[in-house]
A and B are shown apart, each in its own frame.
Chain A
Amino acid sequence: MTDVFKTFFNYVGIFYIIYMVGYASFLFLSVAVGSSMLYKLKRQNKLKNELSGEYYVPVSIIVPAYNEEVTIEASIHSLLALEYKLYEIIVVDDGSSDNTSKAVCDAFNMHIVNRPIQRKVYCRQEEEIYETYEYKVPITLIKKKNGGKADALNMGINAAKYPYFICMDADSVLQYDSLTKIVNPVLEEGNVIAVGGAVRPCNGAEIKDGRVISYRMPNKILPCMQVLEYDRSFLAARILFDKFNGSIIISGAFGLFKKSVVVDAGGYDVNTMGEDMELVVKLHVFCREHDIPYRIRYATDAICWTQAPEKLSDLCKQRRRWHIGLFQSMLEHRKMFMNFKYGLVGSISYLYFLIYELLSPYIEIFGIFTILLAFAVDLINVPFMILFFFIYVMYSAILSLTAFFSRIHTIDLKLAVTDVIKAVGLCVLEVSCLRFILAWTRSSAIIGYKNKKHSWGEIERKRIEFK
């Protein structure tokens, strides 16, 4: 019996070594590339190798909202403060059960209109449409039957007047120059069909007129750890994948898309929970199958501030949604896997997301069970295990810190000493504890996901302190 266990543990050991070396190498490569890109951008910025803000393309900002009564007014005010020449704001109330529409109508003096909307992509019926021209850009509010976030975004696409649209969350705040920055890749290259923005937790930051007045690490532990996690994942995966046109995620919190291509590809999939990822994967598939030259870019300097969940239950809910979305998108477009017709997106990007995102919680939990089993049969080298775990924690923590400090240094944010201490301490906690809690959450996400396909991920909202 011991021999059977030994053989089993040997194979498991080999698998985990390959898995961890692969992950460590990827993480190292992506953080190194991401970090050097940020420093290059800083130098580019210093040497004025950038487009001045005077060039623009007209943009429609779509704000899908569901029960956003508390935050919607501040969000729209933040959008009105953007420094950009030509844009419109479209708020789509997806059948909220609270007073989201009323809050918008009251705050912005909206008037009901009989506006015909062309159904370029599928979405549920509109109920009422309001408009106002009293502000620097037109605001449209569309009240529609509940159909989920993807459905609301599709309605926004149908109503958008301009050739490019931005999707964002109702509880997010765009930095004052974010539109200029996210549009720049479109002006720099002729075939850009989508651009992802950088999403950062706003917990702890004071924002005035879309500008960061002061930046502190959040007071609560959970959002603090998410700050580090966001930096690592944005800096790592997004920038590296951007290098070979392999980004398959543009966060739903802030992304720019060319409307005509999205419409031709069929718009957002209303049957998935991860509509943001699904759309990007769909765009890759569509363009490659139709031989359309295209680029999907990532703009590291186009910043959107979002509220990170402050409660563990909310965070788990959010991650469960993301994991289901990932699962659905990967399942839907499984034909891409190792299919050379789809280039490096089908091989590197798909493979990475399959192994290190979709399957990782199962692999990690399997690893923990294996350790427990090894304990039970007394076949574990405890000092080595502790050393290995220690190295893993240190390595991940240092890469998180590298990503975090690269971001802080390159955008000239000043941190207090206590924030640095907080970051150092919590990055260890994040990789050694939070990661495993979230792995457990994500691993159970797929159970019963089919019942949740139209639901909005509701987390407790706080009023955004937008001054």
Chain B
Amino acid sequence: MKVESIIYIYGAVCVSMIVFNIIYNILLKQNESSLKKRCEKIGKQVDIQLNAIKDSGKIQEKHLSYMQHRLRRINNLIAFEKVLKDAINNGKEKEVNKYISQIQPVILYLAMLYSHRENMQAGYFTYFLANYAAKKQMPIDSLQDILLSYVKKDNLYCRINALSALYNIGNTEHIITAIRAQDDGVIYINEKILTEGMLSFTGNHNELITTLWKNLNSFSEHTKLAVLNYIRFKTGSYKEEMLSIMLDETAEKEVRLSAIRYFGKYYYEPALKYILNFVSNNEPSKWEYATVAVAALEKYSGDDVIKALKKAIHSPNWYIRYQAAQSLDAQHLNYNALFDIINGSDRYAREMLTYRLESRKLQKAGCGKQ
């Protein structure tokens, strides 16, 4: 190949790049204006129905087939979402809710349709469901069944939005199935997102927790962790169960640490001696257990606790010392009780406690000014 040919090929590439840029820019501008037109068109129809709901409590029959036809196109669905959003912002939330519940056959049809579309469109549909259409205790089981198929899709956002829609509907059985479905190891959902999701569940939390607990061992470590964190945020009535996890040496480290944290949130006398055992364990490989246990002691009082914390503040491990200073501070001891540390020979312990006391003062002052 001659050099000239290469030059001409690259020249052609240059030209095509600039053409692409110009065309894309034109398309973008067209898209903006067509979205406006779509919003106006769909908005008019929705407005008529919202007014009908106000007058007679019902939407017109023909509207269902109109919407079923329209919302098959993703751009129309985007416009529809915008119309609903605007209506809610204009104080028509009640009417919108009624409207949504009356177009459920359309939503069911769309749920089937979009479950076969490419992942990004499916993701958008689940977003729409989670934010507008999936409401508390929605009576259609078939929609929930379809949502479970979205949870299995190979798209993180689709899974998260579908889970979110299911949390909104609030059916325990479906949530358990969905949590198990997402735990297939194909797509990773961060445990924070899972926990936050469970916390947003609109159904009966006690029932959900009971069922989750029954299924706990069938989950992977990170889902288990999300469930335990959710239980910690929601209820203090799982002390015995958490104690058994905390003491189970075959359980995963993070899971056991989560159980120790549970007792840092909820006081449980029988757990104290085990927490103290974790604190007194000087094995270097167990420092994480000791650190979390020292932090949990913030919730407990008594001579044994203070003695353990005073010992922990002399630990060679920085994190244990840091937490011990925090927990000692939380005991609200007077200067005399802390005299041996503040004036002791261990510089590291002294510095850590002094810093903690200083920083608490600053935090208090800061809270006052904010």
Residues of A bordering B, CB below 8 Å: 17, 21, 24, 28, 31-32, 39, 43-44, 46-51, 54-57, 111, 113-116, 118, 131-136, 186-190, 387-388, 391, 394-395, 398-399, 401-402, 405-406, 409
Contact in complex: A133, B160 (CB < 8 Å): no
Task: Say yes or no: is B28 at the interface (Cβ < 8 Å to chain A).
Answer: yes
21 A-B residue contacts at CB 8 Å?
A: A24-B10, A44-B120, A48-B127, A51-B157, A51-B193, A113-B362, A116-B352, A132-B362, A133-B365, A134-B366, A134-B370, A187-B193, A188-B188, A190-B190, A387-B7, A391-B10, A391-B11, A395-B10, A395-B11, A395-B13, A409-B25
Which residues of A sit under 8 angstroms from B156, Cβ to Cβ? Answer: 188
Q: Which residue of chain A is the closest to B121 with respect to CB atoms?
A: A47
Residues of chain B lying within 8 A (CB to CB) of residue A394? 11, 14
**Which B residues lie at the A interface, using CB under 8 A?**
3, 6-7, 10-11, 13-15, 17-18, 20-21, 24-25, 28, 74, 78, 119-121, 123-124, 127, 155-158, 160-161, 188, 190, 192-193, 196, 222, 318, 348, 351-352, 354-355, 358-359, 362-363, 365-367, 369-370
Q: CA of A141 to CA of B196 in the docked complex: distance in angstroms?
A: 33
- A111 pairs with B18, CB closer than 8 A: no
Further 12 A-B residue pairs, CB within 8 A, beyond A28-B10, A134-B366: A24-B10, A47-B74, A47-B124, A56-B192, A114-B351, A116-B352, A116-B355, A118-B318, A187-B190, A188-B156, A398-B14, A409-B25
Which residues of the other chain, B, contact A135 by a CB distance below 8 angstroms?
A: 366, 370
Contact assessment for A48 and B10 in the assembled complex, using a CB-CB cutoff below 8 Å: no
Contact B196 A17 (CB under 8 A): no
- With A and B bound together, what is the CA distance between A395 and B366 in angstroms? 57
The residue on A at minimum CB distance from B78 is A46
B187 to chain A, nearest CB (A): 9
Query: Contact between B354 and A391 (Cβ–Cβ < 8 Å)?
Result: no
Inter-chain contact A116/B13, CB cutoff 8 Å:
no
**Which residue from chain A places its CB closest to the CB of B347 in the assembled complex?**
A116
For B124, give its contact among A49, A131, A132, A401 (CB under 8 Å). A49
Please give me the 7 A-B residue pairs with the lowest Cβ-Cβ distance, nearest first.
Answer: A133-B366, A47-B124, A48-B127, A118-B318, A49-B157, A116-B351, A398-B14
Query: B residues within 8 A CB of A24?
Result: 10
Complex CA gap A189/B368 in Å reads 40
Which among B120, B160, B363 is the interface contact of A47 at CB below 8 angstroms? B120
A115 and B354 alpha carbons, distance in the complex (Å): 8
Which secondary structure dominates where chain B touches chain A? helix
CA of A118 to CA of B351 in the docked complex: distance in angstroms? 12
Interchain CB contact under 8 A, A31 and B17 = yes
B355 touches A115 (CB 8 A): yes
Give the residue among B15, B119, B157, B363 with the most A Cβ atoms within 10 A.
Answer: B157
A136 lies within 8 A of B14 (CB): no
Contacts A189-B188, A391-B10 known; A49 to B155 CB distance under 8 Å?
Answer: yes
A190 near B188: Cβ-Cβ < 8 Å: yes
Residues in chain A near residue B123, CB distance under 8 A: 47-49
Say how far B256's CB is from chain A's closest CB, in angstroms: 19
Q: Are B120 and A49 in contact (CB under 8 A)?
A: yes
Query: How many Å lie between the Cα of A398 and that of B19 in the bound state?
Result: 10
Roughly how many angstroms separate A456 CA and B303 CA in the complex, as a whole number?
53
A405 to B14 Cα, complex, angstroms: 14
Q: Is B121 within 8 A of A54, CB to CB?
A: no
Per the bound structure, the CA–CA distance linking A39 and B369 in Å amounts to 46
Are the CB atoms of A21 and B358 closer together than 8 Å? no
CA distance A49 to B78 in the complex (A): 13
**What CA separation (Å) do A43 and B352 show in the bound complex?**
51
Contacting pair B352 A134 (CB below 8 A): no
Taking the closest CB of chain B, its distance from the CB of A222, in whole angstroms, is 25
A43 CA to B123 CA in the complex, in Å? 12
Task: Establish whether residues A51 and B160, one from each chain, have CB atoms under 8 Å apart when the complex forms.
Answer: yes
Provide the residues of chain B in CB contact with A401, threshold 8 Å.
Answer: 18, 21
Complex: A280 Cα to B96 Cα, angstroms? 51
A135 to B365, CA, bound (A): 11
The reply to whether A113 and B28 form a contact with Cβ atoms under 8 Å apart is no
A398–B18 CA distance with the chains assembled, in angstroms? 7
- In the complex, the answer to whether B362 meets A409 with C-beta atoms within 8 Å is no
> How many angstroms from the CA of A395 to the CA of B13 in the assembled complex?
8
Q: Which residue of B lies closest to A28 (CB)?
A: B13
Once the chains are docked, how many angstroms separate the CA of A31 from the CA of B17? 10
Residue of B nearest to A406 (CB): B21
B10, B155, B193, B352 pick with most chain A CB within 10 angstroms: B10
- Nearest-Cβ distance from residue A189 to partner chain B, whole angstroms: 6
- Contacts A55-B192, A133-B363, A190-B190 given; does A399 touch B124 at CB 8 Å: no
Which residues of the other chain, B, contact A21 by a CB distance below 8 angstroms?
6
B3 touching A399 by the CB < 8 A rule?
A: no
In whole angstroms, how far apart are the Cα atoms of A118 and B11 in the complex? 58
Interchain CB contact under 8 A, A114 and B28: no
Chain A residues near B124 (CB, 8 Å)? 47-49
Chain A residues with Cβ below 8 Å from B11 are: 391, 394-395
Residue of A nearest to B158 (CB): A49
| Residue of A32, A39, A113 contacting most chain B CB atoms (<10 Å) | A113
A56, A136, A398: which has the most chain B beta carbons within 10 Å?
A398
The residue from A55, A134, A405 contacting B365, defined by CB atoms under 8 A apart: A134
Which residues of A lie under 8 Å from residue B318 when comparing CB positions? Answer: 118
Residue numbers in A under 8 Å from B155 (CB-CB): 49
In the assembled complex, the CB of A350 is this many whole angstroms from the nearest CB of chain B, namely 26
**A414 CB, nearest partner CB in chain B, Å:** 11
B365 and A116 contact, CB distance less than 8 A:
no
CA–CA, A56 and B190, complex, Å: 10
| Residues of A with C-beta under 8 A to B13 | 28, 395
**A113 in contact with B355 (CB, 8 Å):** yes
Distance of A406 Cα from B369 Cα, bound (Å): 46
The one of B78, B192, B370 in contact with A187, judged by C-beta atoms closer than 8 angstroms, is B192
B120 touches which of A43, A132, A134, A189 (Cβ 8 Å):
A43
A48: chain B residues within 8 A (beta carbon): 123-124, 127, 157, 161
Contact of A133 among B7, B14, B367 (CB under 8 A): B367
CA distance A51 to B163 in the complex (A): 13
Query: With the chains together, A409 CA to B222 CA distance in Å?
Result: 39
B355 touches A114 (CB 8 A): yes
Give A48's nearest chain B residue, CB to CB. B127
With A28-B13, A114-B351 known to touch, is A388 a contact of B7 (CB < 8 Å)? yes
Q: How far is the CB of A18 from chain B (nearest CB, A)?
A: 11
Residue of A nearest to B368 (CB): A134
Q: How far is it, in angstroms, between the C-alpha of A409 and the C-alpha of B22 when the chains are bound?
A: 11
How far, in angstroms, from A134 to B155 measured CA to CA in the complex? 42
Give min CB distance, A429 to chain B, whole Å: 17
Alpha-carbon distance A395/B158, docked complex (angstroms): 40
Q: Which residue on A lies nearest to B360, using beta carbons?
A: A133
Q: How far is the CA of A111 from the CA of B369 in the complex (A)?
A: 14
